Chains A and B, each alone.
Chain A
Amino acid sequence: MRLRPFELVEPETLADALAALARLDGEARLIAGGTALVPMLRLGLVKPERLISLHRLPALAEIRTDDGTLRLGAIATLADIERARAVREGWPLLAEAVHRVASPAIRTSGTIGGNLCYAEAASDPAPALLCLEAEVRVAGPAGERSVPVTGFFRGFYETALEPGELVTAVRIPAVPAGALSGYVKFTPRSAEDKPLVGVAALITLDTAGRCAEARIGLAGAAPTPIRAHRAEMVLRGEAPSDTTVRAAAEAAAREAEPLSDLMGSADYRREMIRVWVRRLLVAMRDGTHRAEPNQD
């Protein structure tokens, strides 16, 4: 089945892209990789008259580090991010979570900006970006601004972007020295599915073995990706003993407000959050967390 006809605008400068977005005649939509948007177009969930493609803005595809900060252009593809040496070495949590998105062909086209702006609760990269305290760079009619990723997701498929704005980049500060981190994606059907729940965590231990930093990001646990603040509070200042980890997992399950959908009920999701927060933290503590998916 063909897509409904639309006009395609392919700006070659950011200024032209913003000007195209500012036009008021008819509904327009940005398209990056299209892996989220094209299915929506095909199902008729959105019916824009005009698509504004970002693919001719190579500056937005750049992946680089500046003074220890990682800068991912909005149209950097998930495939390029998971392969980038700087990312694998400096931000392994991000490389791990991005690698778990769907299957290789989706990652060839899918972009980090598209993933953020789609704002799906079941995003794999989002929990990692929340733990890494990333900053979203936004350009719009009033100039540029930064939004912490912790404030970027506003509601069910809703972001902090104002009309006329687009994401230009994601900036990620250096990971605290000695941090332990990991991501687990739980998919009850098959490995390439979207996560029923996804858990990212990053902790640092002080010399006495207590958690100094404790950050937990969750996918599938609320209408948007979230940080599990109560669970983090349980961990901070404590050694990650079995008892503390259990209490943190319990807190995460209690603070989650998952939705029910075809993949699973809210109760099932809550239970799986309890299980996977605990398993991830134990595996990180014991050095047994593996970045690769299970073999079964």
Chain B
Amino acid sequence: MTLTFVLNGHPCTAEAPAHWTVLDLLRDGLSLTGTKDGCGEGVCGTCTVLADGRPIRACLVLAAHVRGRALVTVEGLETDGRLDPLQTAFAERGAAQCGFCTPGMLLAAKALLTEDPAPTAQEVREALSGNLCRCTGYAKIVEAVLAAAPGRS
């Protein structure tokens, strides 16, 4: 199956078997390993990427379903070599420890800030509710997202 879509702002054509998920396509087909394979069942959120600006679970969505859509992975968050404000805030505030949940957290947060540039702490928690972190205890992640929210400063 040939798939054409937009990947991190660039047109992309890739070959994928019909039974591949978006996660298989990204990690194995395109060697973009920033997107993490955690549970494979939709529960942990480490595989979160954006499709047309909204968060999806790459492990649950068939690769065929992203034809013609715009995907953003953690590799696409920086612009011209400059980190996204969310990435900087995560780094500065200790919101990443082992880092396994971080790509998914960043993209779930990115989707929220694109839709609502000035969310409350409760809205941040809700937006990240499907992303598990076993290290940080979440407080610093929520702080980092609030610090990066363009409408709050």
Name A residues whose Cβ lies closer than 8 Å to a Cβ of B: 1-8, 10, 31, 33-35, 38-39, 42-43, 51, 53, 55, 79, 102-106, 108-109, 190-192, 292-293, 295
Contacts and interface: CB of A to CB of B under 8 A. Distances in A.
B62 A104 contact: no
A105 B59 contact: no
A292 B20 CA distance: 36
Nearest to A43: B41
Contacts of A6: 18-19
A51 B62 CA distance: 11
A38 B21 contact: yes
A8 B57 contact: no
Interface of B: 1, 17-21, 24, 40-42, 45, 48, 51, 54-57, 59-62, 64-65, 108, 111-112, 122, 126-127, 129-131
A25 B1 CA distance: 22
B130 A8 contact: no
Contacts of B18: 5-8, 51
A35 B42 contact: yes
Contact of B40 (A1, A104, A191, A295): A1
A290 to B, nearest CB: 12
A292 B126 CA distance: 10
A104 B24 CA distance: 22
Nearest to A83: B115
Contacts of B21: 3, 38
B111 A104 contact: yes
18 contacts: A2-B24, A7-B18, A8-B18, A8-B64, A34-B62, A34-B65, A38-B42, A38-B62, A103-B45, A103-B129, A104-B111, A105-B108, A106-B57, A108-B51, A191-B129, A192-B129, A192-B130, A295-B122
Given A8-B1, A34-B62, A38-B60, A106 B42 contact: yes
A38 B40 CA distance: 9
A103 B130 contact: yes
Nearest to A40: B41
Contact of B62 (A39, A43, A53): A53
Contact of A42 (B40, B65, B129): B40
A104 B127 contact: yes
A10 B37 CA distance: 27
A3 B23 CA distance: 11
Contacts of A190: 129
A99 B140 CA distance: 26
A109 B57 contact: yes
A20 to B, nearest CB: 14
A109 B24 contact: no
A53 B129 contact: no
A104 B130 contact: yes
Given A38-B60, A104-B54, 5 more contacts: A34-B65, A104-B112, A105-B45, A106-B57, A109-B65
A124 B84 CA distance: 35
A86 B11 CA distance: 35
Nearest to B59: A38
Given A31-B62, A42-B41, A3 B19 contact: yes
Candidate in A1, A42, A53 with the most chain B CB atoms within 10 angstroms = A42
Contacts of A191: 126, 129
